[in-house]
Amino acid sequence: MDIHEGYALIQKLKTGISSVVIGKESAVELMLTGLVSGGHVMIEDTPGTGKTLMAKTLAALVSSSFSRIQFTPDLLPADITGLNVYDQKEGTFRFIKGPVFSNIILADEINRATPRTQSALLEAMEEGQVTVDNETYILDKPFIVVATENPVETVGTFPLPEASLDRFAMYLSMGTLSPEDEVRMLNVIGEGHHDEMVEPVCTGSDIEAVKDLSDKIYVHDDLKDYMVKITQKTRTVPSVQMGVSPRATLWLMKTSKAHAFISGRDHVIPDDIKEVAEYVLAHRMITYAGRDIAAKRRVIKEILAGIEVPAEEWSRR
């Protein structure tokens, strides 16, 4: 697969999701950016805004194994990873794999489960493996987690620990629909036509190939310095209690490459960085405003406004 074939494939995914998830083109593009970068994506918004629908539509467009985990307060870690069961006939323990052993995972309403259960995904998301009873099992690739959560103001939710949030490459919100888009939604989903529109357009191997192409996108050294200045600034802003880690800088570059790729370019430009920065960095910071993600995004926007954008021929090697 070359870059042109990869770009065409991503456009098919974008068109397929947008045909069902109406009026959310920006959220769709950002989710695909997270997918192409090889990261996991968190989608946060109030109930009924299309979070689960977008994740399920993506899974339907990719011909690979898919599991949906509905997080509830009584969900246990073993319900996610799997467990060893004693086989009386054989006289041995046999491991039964949990739903985490799939290519695409929909972790629905992840903040309705307890922190102990939420943390069951940590090793899988970071290392691509699961350890149960001192035995390690390698997960198949691609391994993509798309999690949804309700705002923490909603009754019956458990805020995700910072260690869990840091495992997500991007933290998105769905936003609201315009009146015109809400009418379109009624025509497409309200009349039950959306299921007919979704057919697989690629395989899990295709997604892995696209990730490899994205990794080869060129980033000028001046833009690498620009990224570092942004992340360094989060550690010195007075309103920020704890800035982002070097892992965030790495993901800022990966997602900038992915955004350039799905925009049809073989090199990163400053607009790629500015487009993804608030969705990559905001959820990783601890501010004195608490867990208000909108306030954190405003901080990132202020940082971007205060740093001079380098001028260069970005495609120059």
Instruction: Give per-residue pLDDT as tens, 259-306.
Output: 999 999 999 999 999 999 999 999 999 888 777 888 899 999 999 999
Using CA atoms, how far residue 20 sits from 5, 14, 193, 196, 242, in Å, is 24, 10, 9, 10, 39
Cβ distance 259 to 33 under 8 Å?
yes
Q: Nearest-5° angle of CA 177, CA 32, CA 260?
A: 110
Q: Which residues contact 92 (CB under 8 A, 6 or more apart)?
A: 86
Task: Return the number of other C-beta atoms located less than 10 Å from residue 163's C-beta.
Answer: 12
> What pLDDT does 313 receive?
67
10-residue averages of pLDDT along the chain (317 residues):
89 90 89 93 85 87 91 91 86 89 91 86 86 88 89 75 84 86 80 68 91 93 94 91 92 96 92 95 86 88 92 66
Which residues lie across from 287 on neighbouring strands? 240, 290
Q: Considering the entire predicted model, what is its pTM? A: 0.90
**Domains of the chain, each with CATH number or no CATH:** 1-216 (3.40.50.300), 217-310 (1.10.8.80)
> What pLDDT does 273 receive?
95
> What pLDDT does 193 receive?
58
Tens of pLDDT along 48-69? 888 888 888 888 899 888 999 9
> What pLDDT does 315 receive?
64
Residue 185 CA to residue 214 CA, distance in Å, equals 33
